[in-house]
Structure 1
Amino acid sequence: MSKQKAFIPVAGIREVVDPGSMLVEVDDRLIVLIHAAGHWYALDDVCTHDGGPLSDGPVDSADKTIACPRHGAKFDLATGAAVTMPATKPTVAHEVKIEGDQVLVRLHDHA
């Protein structure tokens, strides 16, 4: 049984506008931290279609997705699920919590 990872502070709550995103590094992994419609999300910063950086793509608060800037594949902010082509595989979603004015992320190993 694997040991559960700890929550790691990655940003201040005022550092990411709503809607908006920021690229952070957690344990040598690039994570896109997303603030949308008052909620916080964290996904691996990689489009599963061609490896594009999701952190460069637009966040849509209404449908709770982030789009890859290369080919427009959209991913669900909460689950990492691929919701539009050309991506068919999910990216990894991570847990986020707020403590005071800090945003913390706990990594998950896979989708």
Structure 2
Amino acid sequence: MIRTGRFAVGAYSELAEGEAFRVRAGGIPLAVFKVRGEIKVIEDTCSHGQASLSEGEVSTEYCTVICPLHGSIFDLDTGEPLTAPATTPVERFESEVEDDQIVVTII
């Protein structure tokens, strides 16, 4: 069951630039990234091959992640796949940092 609301998912200061982690919030697996000092949150499961996107290679230059299973590249700002084999976007979630806590909003 998916719950809506605001969820604190981790400390901003503990997430290094260009790194990611997987967390469940509201019943949804999320991938949380730090790119150019900003937090980006997308659905963690690749829309093509069911791989964990938080385990993929992050590009801070292009603000993307490469799926570790089949190599699809996803835009972290939009969730859109930029290359095949994925053709369906992953969901993107709003986030903010409050007192060093990454807070994700699920609606």
The TM-score, its normalising length taken from structure 1, stands at 0.89
After superposition, give the CA deviation of every residue in 1:10-59 in whole Å (9 maximum; x if it has no partner). 10112211011011110121100000111111011111111111011011
- Structure 2: gaps (5+ residues): none
Q: Which of the two has greater strand per residue?
A: 2
Residue type at the aligned position of 1:9: A
Identity of aligned residues (%): 30
Q: Secondary structure at the match of 2:85?
A: coil
| 1:56 and 2:52 correspond | no
Q: Distance in 1 between matches of 2:101 and 2:29?
A: 18
Structure 2 length-normalised TM: 0.92
Cα displacement string for residues 47-101 of structure 1 (whole angstroms, at most 9, x for unaligned residues):
1111111011011011110110011101110110111111111000000101111
Segment drifting more, 5-14 vs 73-82: 5-14
* Misfit runs of 4+, over 3 Å: none
Residue ranges of structure 1 left out of the alignment (5+ in a row): none
Secondary structure at the aligned position of 2:33 is classed as strand
Counterpart of 1:95 in structure 2 is 94
Q: Aligned residues, how many?
A: 104
State how far apart, in whole Å, the 2-side matches of 1:95 and 1:29 are: 14
Aligned mates of 1:10, 1:43 — CA distance in 2? 13
Report if the CA contact (8 A) 2:18-2:35 is conserved. Answer: yes
1:44, 1:91 → 2: CA distance?
6
- Aligned-residue RMSD, C-alpha: 1.0
Give me the whole-angstrom Cα distance separating, in 2, the residues matched to 1:27 and 1:104: 12
